[in-house]
Structure 1
Amino acid sequence: MPHILHLDSSPRGSRSTSRALTKEFVSDWIQVHPQDTVTYRDIGKYPVPPVDESWIAAAFNKANTLPTELTGALTISDELIAELLQADRYVFGVPMYNFSIPANFKAYIDQVVRIHRTFNAAWEGLLTNKKMLIVTSRGDSYGEGSALASYDFQEPYLRTVFGFIGITDITVFHAENLNEGKDSRQQAIAQVRHAMQQLIVSW
């Protein structure tokens, strides 16, 4: 039975475009595939902590048993990684902040990109045969050929970091030009909605 990990990273509530779109996709998906299950994590409202010295010491500790002072340092990381391992598909909502990703999503990535858990010593990703949908929201247009294409540090980074841990089947839908007026906003959202409906048939 396929399992989906649905994650939102926008700190905005009902005003969030990425949240609205990921929610719509997962809802429509379950209507078509009612046997599938979903785990939802909201790191926009409930951020995960950044890695600290104890986390690093524990993650790279070679002992079979962690020292007492490091017990619990990887609890959150273990929980997040378990969700990734359990899921067959991922639906992530990631707004663009300052040409890249929100700090809370970077903290999430740092928690789950972990040696011996999601990649090995040979830098081989351990999360294979997974599929990922990333829905972004952007104030302007950063697509190939646009004036701001070179400012896009969001999609290239996400493809690289998730590809590093083995997730290479990645679809990215951008809701762009959201700050360019009502018509542009509605058109962008409509385009993503259409693309999501097409994906539900083929994913």
Structure 2
Amino acid sequence: MTTTILQIDSSARPGRSGAQPHGSHTRRLTARFIERYRQLDSATEVIYRDVGAEPPSPVSGAWVHAAFTPPAAREPWMKEALAQSDALIDELLAADIIVAGVPMYNFGPPAQFKAWLDNIVRVGRTFGFDRSRTGEPYWPLLAGAGKQLVILSSRGDFGYGPGQRLEGINHVEGSVRSVFRYLGVTEASGAAIEYDEFGDERLLRSIDDAESATDRLAEAISVARTTAGRRAA
């Protein structure tokens, strides 16, 4: 069973910390996850999308008009308006694991990552909608597909984790998980580097801890997928 990973980097910083001056911590973690997973499963396929370097176009009025027009009734300009969204959704649908590098920018995800989210949340493709449906008119279209989400983040301050001093203003992991749950991806995990703005030994310890956690995530997910594949065989 070949695993396909969609690796998304959204940091505005090019390069990786530890390799380039002022490089990105999240790029460092996403690359590490891929490296460790491939060590465990060399047949893994990776789809790479760098929305930090090449942000998707924001959703526009034309995009909304086209998305809510039935496919058979779409005019050529509508298809063009949705072409980028279609490409991004195709990548998402092809993936078993979504590894998202999402640094904290002003307590939330970068705008370029939010633009990616807005492009993949599409009626008829990743969620369903029917006003006449009994009960909830919305339903997820990715439910039951076995997809898993890994969020690898970084922040300048510290204490943004569950039960910690700044948990209430961390709108990164919670918001991203909410979007994916809406689409039907309910298995989510992650790791984060903190203390970036301090630049002292606490940052170094945080990097070590996050890298170890990233390795463990890759190992656990690989083992789980291998076990599931054997049961299905």
Q: Shorter-chain TM-score category? A: over 0.9
1:174 aligns with 2:186: no
Cα distance per residue 1:47-98 (max 9 Å; x no partner): 1100111111100013613124323110000000000000111111000000
Q: How does 1:31-70 map to 2 (within 5 A)?
A: 31-62=39-70, 64-70=72-78
Counterpart pick for 1:91 among 72, 96, 99: 99
What is the CA-CA distance between 1:200 and the residue it aligns to?
2.3
Contact kept? 2:190, 2:214, Cα under 8 Å: no
1:157 aligns with 2:178: no
1:200 corresponds in structure 2 to 218
Contact kept? 1:4, 1:87, Cα under 8 Å: yes
1:9 corresponds in structure 2 to 10
* Counterpart secondary structure, 2:138: coil
**Unmatched tracts of structure 1, length 5 or more:** none
Dislocated runs of 4+, deviation >3 Å: none
Contact kept? 1:162, 1:168, Cα under 8 Å: yes
Contact kept? 2:32, 2:215, Cα under 8 Å: no
Contact kept? 1:178, 1:188, Cα under 8 Å: no
* Counterpart secondary structure, 1:34: coil
**Unmatched tracts of structure 2, length 5 or more:** 16-22, 130-136, 222-233
Pick closer, same or farther for the CA change 1:72–1:197 going to 2, 3 Å.
same
Contact kept? 2:8, 2:48, Cα under 8 Å: yes
- Counterpart amino acid of 2:152? V
Count how many residue pairs are aligned between Structure 1 and Structure 2: 203
1:123 corresponds in structure 2 to 138
- RMSD between aligned residues: 1.2
TM-score normalised to structure 2 length: 0.84
What is the CA-CA distance between 1:115 and the residue it aligns to?
0.8
What is the distance in 1 between the residues matched to 2:42 and 2:96? 15
Contact kept? 2:99, 2:151, Cα under 8 Å: yes
